[in-house]
Amino acid sequence: MRAGGERQWTGRTTLFALLAFFGVVFAANGVFIYFASASWNGLSTEDAYRKGISYNRTIDRAAAQKALGWKTAVALETAGANTQRLTLNLRDRADRPIDARTVTATLRRPLSAGGDIETALDWVGAGQYAAQLALSYRGQWEVSIEVARGGDLPYLIEARLWPN
């Protein structure tokens, strides 16, 4: 200490100040890294790379589906205390019902893994298909429906639904 009560700023003081500053920075970064690695990884789809490189095929498929002119309506309605009903109305370009097809659906939660449901929709007549479900979570669901079309690629319908 100098005379008069002033502290002298030395190399050792600078070293300790820098070590304390960077120690706090490294500790904060360590906490952030821990919580980031322990939380949701942000992936909502499996095999995203392969799906990404098949993008042109996806565009071609969408164009072929649009050329068919099919009209679809998908709904997810509450049917009971713990039961929901997934319905699909399927019509052709001339508004005639498309009947007797094999229809399958996959329901996924958009922000959480697990709890996915795969089901077949039964033909109930006049272009109507339906399935009873017991959804494990409330809130929105992503629905992918495939309609078999003989030897062609299945007709794909995707929607985001909330049970009402």
Q: Which pLDDT tens digit goes with each residue over 32-81?
A: 999 888 887 676 677 778 878 888 888 888 888 888 888 989 988 887 77
pTM recorded for the entire structure: 0.63
Judged on CB neighbours under 10 Å (0-12, 13-18, 19+), 159 is middle
The CA–CA distances, whole Å, from 37 to 25, 47, 111 equal 18, 20, 17
pLDDT in tens, 76-127: 888 777 788 889 999 988 989 888 788 999 988 877 777 788 989 888 888 8
pLDDT of residue 44: 66
Contacts of 23 (CB under 8 A, 6+ apart): none
Q: Rounded to whole angstroms, what are the CA distances from 148 to 53, 99, 102, 155?
A: 24, 11, 5, 7
The span from the CA of 104 to the CA of 147, in Å, is 7
Collapsing DSSP to helix, strand or coil, 160 comes out as strand
Q: What CATH number matches the domain at 48-161, 2.40.30.30, 2.60.40.1180, 2.60.40.1930, 3.40.50.261? A: 2.60.40.1930
**pLDDT value at residue 2:** 59
Q: How far apart are CA 92 and CA 104, in angstroms?
A: 19
Tokens matching residue 156: 């794909």
- Give the pLDDT score at 16: 95
